[in-house]
Structure 1
C-alpha cells in the first residue's frame, strides 16, 4: 500500500475552483483544472509515494513486477497494464461532442492509422491505442450532460415546437423515418452542412429557441434542452454540434447518481464535478463543440443511432458501508464507501485497487501500515496486498474504490 499523487490536467473547459477546493489547495487555481488522473496511462501516470518520500511513476512500479502488482489473471486477460483509469473531472464549460469506439473498432482503427504512418501524438490521429473506452461518471455535484440520441418521435415534437420554417426540409428526414435510420440521416446531414448552409440555418434555429423560451409557459416540454442549445451556441458559435445537441437526451445527475456510456454513445458533459472511471484508453472521436480534430466519417462509423434512454445508475448496497455502481465493463468496477467517525469498512484483496477520498477524512490500514487520507488524497493497493481496513476519521467521510470488474461483491465487512 502506498499513497498516490494524481496528475492534474489543465484544459480550457476546466474549473479554477472545484478540484483545488476538494484537494484543499488555494482557490482559485492558477490555471483551469479539468481532470485529476489517478492511474497508469502513459500520457500522464500518477506517482507512487515511497517510504523515503520520493515518488516514482505508477507505470514504472507496474513494469517492475506486473504479476505481483496486477495479478496473473489480470496480466493474462489485459496484458501488463492497469486496465482502468480513475479521474476527478470538473467541467466549468461544455466538453466536446464525442463518442468512443468498440473494442473491434479500436483495434482496427489503431492498426489502420499505424499502417498510414501517423505518429501517436499526431493532432489528426483518432486512435491513440487499440482499446475501447467504456466509461462511468458519478456526480459529486449537480452534473449536467447530453447523452444518447433521443427517441425519434420526441425529437420531431421538439423541432416542430420551434416553428422554424427553415427546419422543414430537415424535419422531414426524421418525421418520414422516425427511427435510427432517420436519426442517422438527419445527424449526418447537419454535421456535414457546408458552411454557407450552416450559417443560413443556425441563426434561424437559435431565433426559434429564444422564441420558445420567451413564449407562453403552458406546454413547454423542452425548456432544458432548448436552453442548453442556446448556451452551447454562446460557447461555440457557428458550430454544427449546436444543431446536433437538439437530437440528444438532456440528463441531470444529482450527487451520487451515475451515468454509464458504452461504445458508440454520442455525448457531451456540460457542467459539474464527478468521479470518472474508464478503460485505460484515450480513444475519442469528436463531432463538434471543440477546436480539436474532428473526423466526421470516422465518428459516423462508430456511432450507435439506436434511440434509447440512457438510464441514471443508482448504486446498490454490497455491505454496511459500500455501494457499487454496476456496469458490464470487465476493466473496472467503481463503488462508494461512506463512513462516520469510528466506522470500519473491510475491503477484500485481489487485483489492483485505488482508493480516492472525496470528502472528510479516513485512515487506511493494510499489512501493518496506515495511511491517513483527507479529501483529494488517494492510495494504491496492489494485487499482493492483503485485506485493508478503511476507518472514518470525520463525519461524512466518502471514499471511491476503483478495481477490476470481475471481482465479486463480498468485499465489505
Structure 2
C-alpha cells in the first residue's frame, strides 16, 4: 500500500475514529486526526461508532470529484451508507432512527426529504422549492432583512449587558427570516427551535429525535392544511399547488417544510455566532469589516469565514453505487464515503498561503462549505445574503463589541451535527 491508504494490516480497531475531537484551545480548526490523514493522502479509512469503516476523502480536488460523481449516492437507505450516530439502528424493514420509512417518492430519514435522495427524484422535488431561493428573489428581501437586523441590534443595545448574542441576535434573525419565507408564524419559534436542536444533537437518542421530528412534522402538516384552505404569498402556500396537481402529498410538503425550517435557522444562527467569536479573536480581521463599506469586501469576508469555520463538521455522507477510482484507489460498490469538507477547506493546494489563517482578503469563493454538485446547499443565496447584512452592520453599530468571558469558558457544540456555540456572552 502507498502512504495515502491506511495499512492493509491495520485492524478495524486501529483505524482512526470519526468524528474526531478537536484540539484543546483550537475551536476553529478541524481535528488533528483530519490534518494527519490529509498529509498522508486524499483517501483513507476511518472507523465509525457502529464499527463500520467507510472511506474518508480529505483533499479538496478529490472531494469535488466525489461530490460531482453520479455513481456516488446520497440515499441513506442504501446498504453501506455511513450512518451518523443519531440515525443508527435502522431495521431491515427500512426504518430509520426517526421512525417508519417514508414512501418511495418521499424517502429520507428524519423527514429531511430530497437531500438524502438521488436523481431523478431528488431533482424533481428540489425544483419545487428552487424559485424562492433564486438570487434575484433573495436580493429582493435584503432591505427587509436589514430592517430586522437593525431592530434586533436596537433591542439588544437597549437591554442589559452583558447579554447572550445567540439568544439576542444570532438565533432570532434567521428564525424571523425563514418564518417569513415559509409562512410559519414566528410566535411558534420557541417550539421549532427546541425540536430542531434535538434532531441535530449528536447525543440525542433515537426516541428523542423521533419524538421531536414527529412534533415538527405534525405541526407543519397542520400548517400545510391551513395553507390549502387559505393560501398566502409564501413558500408553503406555493407547495399547496403541487398538492392540488398530485405532484406532492401533504406529508411530503410537511417534510420539505421541516428540512427548510431547520436548515434555514440552525445553520445561519451558528455561523453568525461562531463567526463573531472568530472575528473577536482576530481583531485585525474584524477591523476590515468594521471599516469597510465596499460590498465586494463584505462579500469576500463572508466567503472566507464560511471556508475557515465550516460548521457542517461531521462530513457529507455518501455510498458508492459501483466501483469508482479516487486518487488511484478503487472504492468498491456498496462502500461508504465521508467527504470531510472542513479539512478540504484547509487544503493548501486549493487555498495557497496558510489556509489555517483567517484572511478576509483571501479569494475563498471556491470553498466547499455549501457542498458541491447537484446536492450543494439550496439555501446558499439566502445564507450569504443574511451573513453579508449581519457582518456589515453589527460591528459598525457596536464598534466596542467584545467578549464578556474567556474563550475557554465558551460552550461549543461538539455534540451537534451543526457546529457552533450554545451561548456567546458579549458586552460593549
TM over 0.5: no
The TM-score range, normalised by the shorter chain, is: under 0.3
User: Which has the greater radius of gyration?
Assistant: 1
Task: Name the TM-score, length of structure 2 as normaliser.
Answer: 0.23
Higher share in strand: 1
Higher share in helix: 2
